[in-house]
Amino acid sequence: MLYVPILKGRAGELLALDHLTDDQVRRVLPILEVPPRSGDPIRDAFHFSERARDRLAVAPVGIDVRHLDDPGDTWRHPITDIADDLGAFDVPVLPVIRLTDPPARLRRHGEAVHAQVNRAVVRLGSDELTFDDELLRRLDG
């Protein structure tokens, strides 16, 4: 069985992942949310990669950049930068995508997927769910 914790990509969480045993590493697929710190998504991605690369014995790792703004029309983007940076340290990155991601973000995530392990994580949230009122009535009834 695989354990998939969703963690903030801060120092404490990275330190905890660094202390997993080899057996635990094989059973964990952490999803790390990259926190915005500076208001510059490229700088935030770089700082995250810098902190994470030496701490991640877990492979692969899901990377969620939903809290970072898209930098617009530029050749650099947070998810591709992180995938490149961590990939250089043999840490496979699985970009986290959502059904509500705009096309430009999905395209960048696709680039990161193809540059790495050809896999991604699809994260569904309650804002993407629609409820079937009839089903709910039957379940409650």
CATH architecture of the domain with residue range 6-140: 2-Layer Sandwich (3.30)
pLDDT greater than 90 at residue 132: no
pLDDT at 54: 80
Per-domain residue ranges of the chain = 6-140
Which parts of 1-141 fold into alpha helices (H)?
Answer: 11-18, 22-25, 41-52, 78-87, 103-115, 133-140
C-beta neighbour count of 4 within 10 angstroms: 11
pLDDT greater than 80 at residue 141: no
- pLDDT-derived band at 30 (thresholds 50, 70, 90) equals very high
